[in-house]
Amino acid sequence: MTRVIHTGDTHIGYQQYNSPARRRDFLEAFRTVAEDAVAADVDAVIHAGDLFHDRRPGLVDLQGTIDVLRTLDDADIPFLAIVGNHEGKRDAQWLDLFADIGLAARLGPTPEIVDDVAIYGQDFVPRSRRDELDYEFSPRPDEATHAALVGHGLFEPFAHADWDTERMLEEATVEFDAVLLGDNHAPETADVLDTWVTYCGSTERASASEREARGYNLIEFGGEAADGDGVAISRRALTDTREFVFVDVELEADEGIDRVQERVRQHGVEDAVVIVTVEGEGRPITPAAVEELALDRGALVARMNDRRELPDETEE
């Protein structure tokens, strides 16, 4: 049996809400994945793209990433990855640098072999250039009993898809048992042409719309947990990520800021990112008054989203 962690969309370097603490959170979530990998003694960590939030990570972000990769290297756990849309450069990639210093392998059409699994990679390709793809891969080596493809993009049959998964699988010169994806921050799994296609989700909340807990996939090839194709996919939660507190308020016609502030006071917000969403009717509200209350109560970040259609007049 071969066990690998499938992670992605770590977005290291993202200073969300202009908060240095949130920037550190994204690196620490990646560190937790690596520590979990060591504790579970997995055979590899596979990253499905967007290791970094953009193509110009800061020096501190690079140093922190190298430190995490050394944790894996010290435990003899290979780090295998592809390039996502956020971090892709026109020339050499940051992943190439990590490969040059022996801390990573960049996946491509020639597989990396982990035990008895051949692991291939397909970097993110813009939609305008996908018609040029021929999905030609080196043959699966004889010693490999399974094959997996790692990709990055919005693949069918999932939401907002613009990449034809069936075409890719039909035209690929290798028959894959699993396709391990990044880009969609929500974890999802589907069977496409008898191949498991799965998103691992992101390791930190990159937007307020990402309410579900963050985590990664544990993939087993062979073993008792595997299905008829020899693949088992399970979720592992990241329990130490920054808490997000979502305060949803539906206002009646005669209600205003007092009701919203009351709802904020009903939550523990210490060191949390607080997202207040106001819907319904009610009087106009100045977001700053609500956000300041949350900050005064110890929140790291506070944002109010007013989804009502109201006149410009606001209530202090």
Active site residues: 86
Residue 35 has φ and ψ, to the nearest 5°, of -65, -40
| Number of neighbouring beta carbons within 10 Å of residue 307 | 8
For the four alpha carbons of 238, 179, 103 and 123, in that order, the dihedral sign comes to negative
* DSSP single-letter state for residue 128: G
What are the Cα distances from residue 112, in Å, to 65, 80, 148, 209, 223? 22, 8, 10, 36, 21
Question: For residue 299, which of 31, 12, 13, 19 has the smallest C-alpha distance?
Answer: 19
Are 253 and 230 spatial neighbours (Cβ–Cβ below 8 Å)? no
Q: Is 199 exposed, middle or buried (0-12, 13-18, 19+ CB in 10 A)?
A: buried
CA–CA dist 25, 6 (Å, integer): 20
Query: CA-to-CA distance for 216 and 241, rounded, in angstroms?
Result: 13
72 HSE (CA, 13 A, CB side): 28
Distances (CA, A) of 256 to 94, 268, 291: 50, 21, 15
